[in-house]
Structure 1
Amino acid sequence: MFQTARLDSALPKAEAYRDLLSQAEGLFHGETDAIANAANLSALIFHGLPDLNWAGFYLLRGERELVLGPFQGKPACIRIPLGRGVCGTAAERRQSVLVEDVHAFPGHIACDAASRSELVVPLLQDGKVLGVLDLDSPLPGRFDAEDQAGIEALAALWVKSSA
Structure 2
Amino acid sequence: MFEGTIPAANLPKPAFYAELEQQARALLAGETNQTANAANFAALLYHTMPQLNWAGFYFLDDGELVVGPFQGKPACVRIAIGRGVCGTAAATRQTQVVPDVHAFADHIACDAASQSEIVVPLVTRNGELLGVLDLDSPMLERFDDEDRQGLEAVAKIFVESIDR
The answer to whether the superposition gives a TM-score over 0.5 is yes
Match of 1:159 in 2: 159
TM-score (norm 2): 0.95
TM-score (norm 1): 0.96
Match of 1:91 in 2: 90
Q: Which amino acid aligns with 1:107?
A: D
Percent identity reads 59
Q: Which amino acid aligns with 1:78?
A: V
RMSD: 1.1
Q: Which amino acid aligns with 2:7?
A: L
Q: Which amino acid aligns with 1:83?
A: G
List 4+ stretches of structure 1 deviating above 6 A: none
1:118-161 CA-to-partner distances (Å, cap 9, x unmatched) read 00000001222110000000000000001111110111111111
Aligned residue pairs, count:
162
Match of 2:34 in 1: 34
Partners of 2:119 and 2:135 within 8 A in 1: yes
1:86-125 pair list within 5 angstroms: 86-125=85-124
Deviation at 1:6, TM superposition (A): 4.2
Distance 1:81 1:44 in 2: 27
1:144 aligned onto 2:110: no
Match of 1:69 in 2: 68
SS in 1 for 2:76: coil
Deviation at 1:60, TM superposition (A): 0.2
Match of 2:18 in 1: 18
Distance 1:144 1:71 in 2: 22
Match of 2:56 in 1: 56
Unaligned runs of at least 5 residues, structure 1 = none
Deviation at 1:8, TM superposition (A): 2.2
SS in 2 for 1:141: coil
SS in 2 for 1:36: helix
Unaligned runs of at least 5 residues, structure 2 = none
